[in-house]
Each structure stands twice: as structure tokens, then as C-alpha cells.
Amino acid sequence: MTPTNHFRTAMKKTRFNRFVTKFAVFIIPVLLLCECRRTAPAEEGGTVRFTLYSSRDTFLADENLYRTVPVPDRTISVDSSLTLEKKIVAVADSLSVYYFNGLNIELAGLDTVPEVGLVARIDLQEKEAYRGPGSVPSYQSWYDFFQGSAGGTHTTHILRESFLQPEYDGPWIDGVIFLYRGEPIGEWDHIRLQGLIR
């Protein structure tokens, strides 16, 4: 093969590769969209949607200051026939995956508290390898999510609002108590997860 022919063959392969890449970038989302439309729609009342919250720094003009406020970030759909406990676990598992690098968030129990109603106890568990601050890589421990004013506030908003579901109209809990490794969370520097939260 002459150098000219080799060059032409290489150019054809390069053009072909570019074409295939552009085609794939276009066609794959179209196929996925079509596949999504083929799935049967949920029956009326077949699923319920829960909001997962995040936080954002927002200027509050009437107070003339910036404040970190909770904001809806995404929704999850859960089978409406599930028990309340399983719906809470679905919210906990989604929070773990989307915001906390798979750290365990467990429903430790549901209690009926006089003059409050139904209260969930949510236990934030560490991974097995955790032996203390710095014993696991960054953000593989709740310790990292509790650190700093901004980080602690962000973690507080995500957990409080997502478990309380202020916009949800269906049967839900009336309050939440957060535990860390099985023990009630006290007054820590940067997070506000202590006591009964309503």
C-alpha cells in the first residue's frame, strides 16, 4: 500500500468513526426515549412522588441578607401500595445514593408520640471500615458531611426536609428524630439535627 492510499484509508476510517460517534450520540437518546414511552403508564394512584431536597444560598430581600434555604431538588416515584415504613426506607435509600455516597440511612423505628403523632427514628450509620475521622477516604463518612458551616447546613436541609416531606399530602410522619450510630444526635457545631424535628 502506498503512503497516499494508506492516508486515504486512514481518513475514511476517521470520517467513519466521527459519523458513528455523531450517529450514536443522536440515536441512543432517541431509542431510550422511545423505550420509555413503551412502558405502560402507572395506574391512577399506582405511585406516589416524594421530593428530595437540597439547599441553595438565596438573597432574602425583606431581611436584606443571604440565607441557605431548602429547595426541592428531585422527585422519586414509589409504589403507593407499599407500607409507610417501606416508603420511608425508599426515601432513605434515595438520599443515600443521590447525596451521601451510599452511606447507610436506616429507619430505626416508628413511634407514636403524644401531642405530636407518628415520629420516625432515622439512624445515620458509618461504613464498616470507619474507625474515626480520617480513617476512610473523603466523603465516605458522615463526619465529612457534618463539617463546616456550609456543609453542615446543606446536610441538615437535605435530611430534615426530605424526611418531613412538607409538600406531600398523603399519610406521612409528623416528626423525625435523627440518630448517629444508634445514639441521639446532640448539639453539634454545624448541623441542626438534634431532638424531635417537626
Q: Tell me the per-residue pLDDT of 21-53, one tens digit each, with 9 for 90 and over.
A: 454 444 444 334 433 333 333 445 699 999 999
Q: Determine, yes or no, domain membership for 59.
A: no
Both 90 and 156 in a single domain?
yes
Q: What is the pTM of this model?
A: 0.75
Q: Determine, yes or no, domain membership for 73.
A: no
Domain count, the chain: 2
Give the pLDDT confidence score for residue 35 in this predicted structure: 38
Both 93 and 23 in a single domain?
no
Residues 6+ apart with CB under 8 A from 84: 110, 118, 171, 172, 173
Contact 61, 76 (CB under 8 A): no
Q: Which of 41, 39, 73 is nearest to 54 (CA)?
A: 73
Q: Determine, yes or no, domain membership for 55.
A: no
The domain containing residue 5 runs over which residues? 1-39
Higher-pLDDT residue of 152, 85: 85
CB atoms within 10 A of CB 195: 13
Q: Determine, yes or no, domain membership for 91.
A: yes
Kindly report the average pLDDT of the chain as a whole number: 84
Both 86 and 33 in a single domain?
no
Give the pLDDT confidence score for residue 188 in this predicted structure: 78
- The top-scoring range by mean pLDDT among 7-16, 41-50, 77-86 is 77-86
Both 19 and 91 in a single domain?
no
Lowest mean pLDDT among 121-125, 175-179, 185-189: 185-189
Higher-pLDDT residue of 58, 16: 58
Residue 16 confidence (pLDDT) above 60: no
Q: Determine, yes or no, domain membership for 49.
A: no
Both 105 and 185 in a single domain?
yes
- Mean pLDDT, residues 100-125: 98
